[in-house]
Amino acid sequence: MKTWFKNVFYLSMKEFRSLFSDPILIALIVYLFSMAVYSIASMPTTEIKNGAVAVVDYDKSSLTYRLRDSLREPSFKKVEEINYKDIDKNMDQGNYTFIIVFPPNFEADYLKQQNPKIQVLVDATSMTLANVGSSYINQIFTSEIRSYFKQQNISLPLDPEINVLYNPNYYSSWYMGTNQISGFMTLLILLLVGAAIIREKERGTIEHLLVMPVNTSEIATAKIISNSLVLLLAATLSLIIMIKLVIGVPYPLTQIPLFILGAAVFLFSVSSLGIVMAVAAPTLPQFALICIPVYVVLNMLSGALSPVENMPTLAYVVSQFFPTTIFNDYMADIIYRHASLSDVWLNLVKLLALGSVFIVIAFRKFKSMLAKQG
């Protein structure tokens, strides 16, 4: 056993030297886990940010002031009050996207249950902004009116209680950023491990390994460990610097050890799959043709692009056996819900089970390939 660990250590050092001798590859890893994560997380969305709002308030009651104050940053700018005669001029000049008109006796009519109407004028030059913003205002005002009249002891036919716990402002950048880390880890570990094996075959250095006193498990393990450690370091730094400090996801740093543990098991599972694919492909172009569709399927059924619950029954069942799906659930639990190890241990067991299956197949296939090379 001591000899096994010693051989794995020296083979891992060889893999590290090979990896760091390629500056373009290192630059790609740095870019993907930094600028690519930020740019995709911050890409244009349909969310409303800094919407310009003005009001014409004929009522000036406590209810209308409460509704005005409910339009807060970052979705809306500070609400300004204007005169009714200035509406057309301001809309023509594009000073405001939304102008809200509260009628006289608005609160009094609500108290009489006469259901008064609010007029919302929208600059529809930007159709998406107008449509989504109007929906925002409608939802915010509906919630505030229900809350206000509940305090006034006015009975409502429907009074739902909605409590958003983990992402109260519905920031898509929080969700997109963490999913990109998972996606890039999957893609890069498949490429790095597979390319490391195929590079040995294409350069003829596989024959050097065959005459050395090492066995199949030592060679394969060294390739998994070396490439996984590099990506684990890059992903951890990305989670701390890009996700927490730059994008601003408010998770405690005490969750980092759990992330490292889960990411290490995830990389072990996916890299074992990468070895199986690399052994099946005789050349690097053929490996790429296998790798790309496998990555696309793993990513599409991981829940990163759409909820797995919305998928057809067969796709949903199959996705539960994918390491990407399990790891995305794991990351959501520890980053957004601040879960502890007792909450996510089952996901780790699933990843270990998948990795064990893949590594057994990888060792057998890799041993068969070496025998043919010999």
- Give 46's pLDDT tier (boundaries 50, 70, 90): low
pLDDT in the model for residue 130: 66
pLDDT in the model for residue 152: 57
pLDDT in tens, 345-371: 999 999 999 988 988 888 887 777 666
Q: What are phi and psi of 305, to 5 degrees?
A: -95, -35
pLDDT in the model for residue 209: 64
User: Which two three-digit tokens encode residue 370?
Assistant: 């070496």
CATH code of residue 90: 3.40.1710.10
User: Which two three-digit tokens encode residue 342?
Assistant: 């007792």
Which one is predicted more confidently, 110 or 320?
320
User: Which two three-digit tokens encode residue 75?
Assistant: 């979705």
pLDDT in the model for residue 372: 64
Within-domain flag for 97: yes
Within-domain flag for 209: yes
Within-domain flag for 160: no
Q: Out of 152, 183, 207, pick the residue that ends a domain.
A: 152
Task: Indicate if the pLDDT at residue 192 is higher than 70.
Answer: yes
Mean pLDDT for the stretch of residues 144-150: 76
> Is residue 100 located within the same domain as residue 6?
no
Q: What is the DSSP string of 288-310?
A: HHHHHHHHHHHHHTTTSSS-GGG
> Is residue 59 located within the same domain as residue 36?
no
> Is residue 345 located within the same domain as residue 245?
yes
> Is residue 194 located within the same domain as residue 329?
yes
- Give 159's pLDDT tier (boundaries 50, 70, 90): very low
Task: Indicate if the pLDDT at residue 155 is higher than 70.
Answer: no
Mean pLDDT for the stretch of residues 88-95: 76
Within-domain flag for 363: yes
The answer to whether the CB of 67 falls within 8 A of the CB of 144 is yes
Q: Report the chain's mean pLDDT, rounded to a whole number.
A: 81
Q: Out of 152, 182, 200, pick the residue that ends a domain.
A: 152
> Is residue 139 located within the same domain as residue 279?
no
> Is residue 26 located within the same domain as residue 88?
no
pLDDT in the model for residue 236: 94
Task: Indicate if the pLDDT at residue 238 is higher than 90.
Answer: yes
Mean pLDDT for the stretch of residues 278-286: 80
pLDDT in the model for residue 158: 41
Mean pLDDT for the stretch of residues 36-59: 77
> Is residue 185 located within the same domain as residue 216?
yes
Peptide bond into 74 cis (omega under 30): yes
Count the domains in the chain. Answer: 2
21-35, 93-107, 221-235: the lowest-pLDDT one: 93-107
Question: Percent of the chain at pLDDT above 90?
Answer: 14
Within-domain flag for 166: no
Q: Which domain holds residue 142?
A: 53-152
> Is residue 216 located within the same domain as residue 344?
yes
> Is residue 141 located within the same domain as residue 215?
no
- As a whole number of Å, the end-to-end CA separation of the chain is 25
Within-domain flag for 261: yes
Task: Indicate if the pLDDT at residue 261 is higher than 90.
Answer: yes
Task: Indicate if the pLDDT at residue 303 is higher than 90.
Answer: no
State the CB neighbour count (10 A cutoff) for residue 322: 22
> Is residue 202 located within the same domain as residue 268?
yes
> Is residue 19 located within the same domain as residue 141?
no
Within-domain flag for 159: no
How far CA 235 is from CA of 170, 189, 195, 351, in Å, comes to 24, 12, 20, 18
> Is residue 91 located within the same domain as residue 211?
no
Which one is predicted more confidently, 308 or 155?
308
pLDDT in the model for residue 345: 92
The answer to whether the CB of 278 falls within 8 A of the CB of 285 is no
Task: Indicate if the pLDDT at residue 149 is higher than 80.
Answer: no
